Chain A
Amino acid sequence: MSRIMKRLFLVWMFFILAVVAIIISMVFGSADITLEKIWHTLWTSQLVDTQDMVIWNIRFPRNIVAALVGANLAVSGAILQAVMKNPLSDPQIVGVSSGAGLAGVIIFILFPWLEHIVPLFAFVGALGAALLVYALAWKNGIRPTRIILAGVAVAAFLGSGISALLVFYGDRVQGALLWMVGGLAARSWNQVELLVPYTIIGLVLAFLGSRRLTILSLGDETAKGLGLPVEQTRFTMTAVAAFLAASAVSVAGLIGFVGLIIPHVTRMFIGTDYRFLLPGSAALGAAILVISDTIGRVVFSPVEVPVGIIMAFFGAPFFLYLLRRE
């Protein structure tokens, strides 16, 4: 019982960390705003001065987008690590994000009038990429190394598709190009509205599957012996992971390493029981992306470094660390 209490406590701590990160990071920016002012603005119903506007229309919604994107990517990564039996899985590494990205770029460039349902197309692209990776890696079951190699190949292939589109439609790429780097500049309430329903659906489905993921982590043979429909679980949970990644990619572009690092760090604290690992990852992913985005916004001001670059800068060394440890 105490183990469960400890895990619940840690999940709450991560959640509080995320909330604190969202509020404190609003202090920083082109002009610093006091915490007192921020607190006041968040609870007031009228925006009276410029600082109110900055807080309510720029910094607050942007942080919410960052938190939701971070949560979705982290949970997506945690799921992929279980279903692909590979601790190095992450929506970007295994090509899921590229699938969503290619679908997204196609819509942005060729069918811009469909922009409001980009997440749906991105989902189709993400799921297609995941299935392609499975198909390429499948040979009498799933081997972790083959999954990663197939994933890298699929990511590169789809990435070339994205680049080709950007080259052919040079005149229309302005938005798409920035989107490719993975950034949250100018994200506001529109993106929050777009993201919230997908996030809720995705996270609820993920949590409902959490016990199955724990059983799956005991290996296919044992999982089958315990009565888990292994292949069906693998497919449905991959779809959930693709859905979450696609929703994140739709509003924030390609941000790597969140889905890789966050589940690992969470596991170090909370363990592999997915009933706690998933909410823990969601909270920590939200916190880390908010903090990284703030660093990107503030440190090199007035130049704003996209959060995707910040994550890659910190994430790549961590990836190498994991690679050596495995």
Chain B
Amino acid sequence: MMSYYHLPLFLGVLSYVFWSLSFLMRKMFPLRLLALASSTCAIFYFSFYLDEPLWLNIFWKLAFTFINLYQITSLIIERSQASFQDEEEELCYRENFSSLSIMEFRKIINVGAKISAPQGFCFTEENVKVKSLVLITKGIASVKVKDKIIAYCRRGNFIGEMSLITGLPATAAVEALDEVHGYQWNAESLKTFIGNHPELRKELQAIFNKDLVVKLLQSNLA
């Protein structure tokens, strides 16, 4: 049977077990929970194992506990807010961003803004640096090279993603043929966001690739 003497030691061992397990986690939420469990056990261990509490360790473990509690709370709040604002947003998620979690999708959407561009609006100009990325949710835009229409961008197509990927000026002019609705992201803000969220960079590239395939098919058929 475990005596009072052995309990703090057991908690000390348990704190290392939780700590080791946390390194095996790939998702942030279980990782934080295990880290929290580890530091909580360690606080009891450092408080009761020796005759005198080890304040240095207790202080640091308390700091880690608060950090993890804060992060867990933030994650829970983020998750609770992970819902769609309207039908258009939900459709946009299902059609273009379904490889992301709703929470990740919301993060990306929050960096951009909804737009409504009138007929004739110029999204990009040939050989001019692209300042923003646009995703069309409604309407049609023409893609022109030397004033000749070579393709059309419709619902689910991105505008400006090629320049965003290559860093080069636009290779074509894109103009709204009727009122175009969609989402717009400032290129620099999006680049900063991607830099801060490397895990989303890969997913976004995969989403762009799907759109590029559609565009390549169109250009082959033209």
Q: Do A and B originate from a single complex? A: no
**A interface with B by C-beta (< 8 Å):** none
* B contact residues vs A (CB 8 Å cutoff): none
